Amino acid sequence: MGNMNLSEQEQIRRESLDELRKLGINPYPAAEYKTNVFAQDILDNYSAEKNNYPEVCLAGRIMSRRIMGNASFAELMDSSGRIQIYVRRDDLCPGEDKTMYNIVFKRLLDIGDIIGVKGHIFVTQMGEITVHVDEFTVLCKSIRPLPVVKEKDGVLFDAVTDPEMRYRQRYVDLIVNPHVRDVFRKRSQIIQSMRELFNSRGYLEVETPILQPIPGGAAARPFITHHNSLDMSLYLRVANELYLKRLIVGGFEGVYEFAKDFRNEGMDRTHNPEFTVMEIYIAYKDYNWMMTFTEEIVKKASLDLHGKTEVIFGENIINLNPPFKRISMTDAIKENTGIDISGMDEAGLRFVCDKLGVPNTPSMGKGKLIDELFGAKCEHNYIQPTFIIDYPTETSPLTKMHRSKPGVTERFELMINGKEIANAYSELNDPIDQMERFQDQLRLSEKGDDEAMFIDMDFIRALEYGMPPTSGMGIGIDRLTMMLTNQPSIQDVLLFPQMKPESQKSKVESQKEEYLVLGIPEEWIDPLKKLGFTTITKLKEIEKTGKLANDLNGYNKKNKLGISGLSPEAVEKWLK
């Protein structure tokens, strides 16, 4: 008896699994399978004259099959790519016993199965480099049918594009959409490129706490968790900034961390609750130096990835060749709105916001209003890389005051494609100023700003011992990857983007006897279950017996079951 919950194809594959075992073939062998080549190597380097691949051994997943009488073709996909294989019955089975071809290869293997093959290379009449298989080994039987994607002349047929399937079952996405694997290889290359640069400068890669007693370093709603033995709340970090600066206090010249941060905010095309940021802090530097360094980081990443500094993003071509434009926030607002806000007080700024239709609330102070203005009217216009510099003091509580301009701080954000990619400061190292800024944040919080920062007294204590002048920078790895791989959604650069859980269907079913007891004829039990009445409880809930009789008769007719018809009265008796 097959399992009711399995599809026909799944049942057939499980039967194949059993048959393999009966033939003495372990469908999930334990032993190492030694390969000596990847598919792409062969395709790139094979030469018929040199016969440079006399004996190959490779392993991969069967992606397509073209079965003929006594010889077949299939495609094998390994981590490098796909290669065609050719299996001929009399080569595979030189003796009398043709089981391995006739039964195992033709009948028991399926698309999705993983096998290893040994053989030699030849070129078909159609000119395709192909592995002529002398021997194959079953390495893993797949019992769930894989979506079949076909391709001709570069055009895909039946490609899996449903985002829900792609993100929930990323493993399937990675199997059937090779370009997806490529995006994640590039993501890794970007991180590698940055790490190489930092290490070559002698900066130290470190790890700092993810579970923090105070969620400092950024203004964002945190996730809260609980530590049982300490019996205290802990927060998942929203940033690692304050810990990295403690390490600069401790005497390291430069420290960096590729960090997962967590923010309990909304999700959209550029936001995921957990995301990756690279933060770096370097002693004796300022934000001007850091701008140049940031240019170098971005340029190198692009060169390492593409060999050039121009990248295509959507409809735009972005030029990542330094120097990038630098413009102060005030000038940016002037450039985009024609309004010069320099020297304006809170009331003046609020008037400007209202005039331009920028939403604002009474709890917003000067800095916040400027920020809103920039976010609503300017940010999206900076497609080419642009450093926006000199942010208002109020919204930059960890940043040093500007050396000459009053009311602003030495801070920059790098905008590319209208989105923030990086954020950096000349770090505030005056402990008394820092304490006052924290207290300002506390006052904002009391005024109703739920994004204001917490006060971290231990961080103040560290600054009191003295932190050298330092510049720090954080760069959003997800967004940088999006930009460099031309992906419009953050979900496309995260292997496992956050999703709501799938609802689990209950699989409880009533037994046959329970139906019989009610006087339901045996032949009607299956139709009842098929119509959704998998439990007696569900059946008892029905009120219109006429409809049920109608449904059952309809099912009988449709499926040509040949059961004699039911009257509504008979059905009514079951449910009395």
Instruction: Enumerate residues 480-499 that contact RNA by CB under 7 A.
Output: 488-489, 491, 499
Query: Pairing mode, if any, of strands 129-140 and 114-123?
Result: antiparallel
> Residue 221 contacts by C-beta under 8 Å, 6 or more apart in sequence?
263, 264, 265, 450, 451
Tell me, what DSSP letter sits at residue 401?
A: B
Q: Minimum distance from CB of 540 to RNA (Å)?
A: 11
> Residues 342-371: x/- map of binding to RNA (CB under 7 A)?
-----------------x-----------x
Question: Quick one: 271 or 299, whose CB is closer to RNA?
Answer: 271
The 3-state DSSP class for residue 288 equals helix
> Residue 499 contacts by C-beta under 8 Å, 6 or more apart in sequence?
164, 167, 168
Could you check whether the bond before residue 323 is cis, i.e. omega within 30 degrees of 0?
A: yes
Q: For residues 206 and 204, give the distance between their C-alpha atoms in angstroms, rounded to a whole number.
A: 6
Token pair for residue 549? 């009789």
Q: Select the span of 6-14, 203-211, 304-312, 331-339 touching RNA (CB under 7 A).
A: 6-14
Q: 131: which strand partners?
A: 85, 121
Q: Minimum distance from CB of 526 to RNA (Å)?
A: 11
> Is 512 one of the binding residues for RNA (CB under 7 A)?
no
Question: Quick one: 193 or 392, whose CB is closer to RNA?
Answer: 392
Question: Quick one: 218 or 236, whose CB is closer to RNA?
Answer: 218
Radius of gyration of the chain (CA): 33
Cβ 56 vs Cβ 119: under 8 Å: yes
For 39, how many CA atoms within 13 A lie in the half-sphere containing its CB?
A: 19
Q: Select the span of 106-114, 208-216, 304-312, 402-410 touching RNA (CB under 7 A).
A: 106-114
Residues of span 408-447 touching RNA by CB under 7 A: 423
Q: Select the span of 36-44, 337-345, 501-509, 512-520 touching RNA (CB under 7 A).
A: 501-509
- Position among 54, 202, 266, 562 found at the interface with RNA (CB under 7 A): 266
For 246, how many CA atoms within 13 A lie in the half-sphere containing its CB?
A: 17
Query: Pairing mode, if any, of strands 316-319 and 232-236?
Result: unpaired
Helix extents (H) in 178-278: 178-200, 241-249
Residues of span 178-217 touching RNA by CB under 7 A: none
- Position among 178, 209, 314, 375 found at the interface with RNA (CB under 7 A): 375
Query: How many of the chain's residues bind RNA (CB under 7 A)?
Result: 87
Q: Minimum distance from CB of 360 to RNA (Å)?
A: 9
In the chain, the amino acid numbered 58 is L
Token pair for residue 259? 């960090």
> Residues 152-181: x/- map of binding to RNA (CB under 7 A)?
x----xxxxxxxxx-x--------------
Q: Please report, for residues 20, 40, 439, 450, 452, the alpha-carbon distance to residue 446 in angstroms, rounded to integers and kept in the order given.
A: 70, 62, 11, 9, 9
Sign of CA dihedral 385, 390, 392, 397: positive
Residues of span 117-136 touching RNA by CB under 7 A: 122, 124-128, 130
Q: For residues 93 and 384, give the distance between their C-alpha atoms in angstroms, rounded to a whole number.
A: 63
Q: Select the span of 260-268, 277-285, 338-346, 461-469 touching RNA (CB under 7 A).
A: 260-268
Question: Quick one: 503 or 564, whose CB is closer to RNA?
Answer: 503
- Position among 115, 219, 421, 536 found at the interface with RNA (CB under 7 A): 219
Question: Quick one: 305 or 420, whose CB is closer to RNA?
Answer: 420
Cβ 208 vs Cβ 244: under 8 Å: yes
Question: Quick one: 116 or 527, whose CB is closer to RNA?
Answer: 527
Residues of span 45-74 touching RNA by CB under 7 A: 64-71, 73
The 3-state DSSP class for residue 56 equals strand
Q: For residues 58 and 61, give the distance between their C-alpha atoms in angstroms, rounded to a whole number.
A: 10
Query: Pairing mode, if any, of strands 71-77 and 386-389?
Result: unpaired
> Is 147 one of the binding residues for RNA (CB under 7 A)?
yes
- Position among 279, 372, 410, 478 found at the interface with RNA (CB under 7 A): 372
CA diameter of the chain: 95
Token pair for residue 120? 């030699």
Question: Quick one: 193 or 459, whose CB is closer to RNA?
Answer: 459
Q: Minimum distance from CB of 289 to RNA (Å)?
A: 20
Q: Minimum distance from CB of 226 to RNA (Å)?
A: 23
Residues of span 271-330 touching RNA by CB under 7 A: 271
> Is 237 one of the binding residues for RNA (CB under 7 A)?
no
Q: Minimum distance from CB of 130 to RNA (Å)?
A: 6
Question: Quick one: 193 or 371, whose CB is closer to RNA?
Answer: 371
> Residues 523-562: x/- map of binding to RNA (CB under 7 A)?
-------xxx-x------x-xx-xx--xx--xx--xx---
Question: Quick one: 46 or 193, whose CB is closer to RNA?
Answer: 46
Q: Select the span of 33-41, 143-151, 179-187, 464-472 touching RNA (CB under 7 A).
A: 143-151
Q: Minimum distance from CB of 373 to RNA (Å)?
A: 10
DSSP structure string for 276-311: EEEEEEEET--HHHHHHHHHHHHHHHHHHHHSSSEE
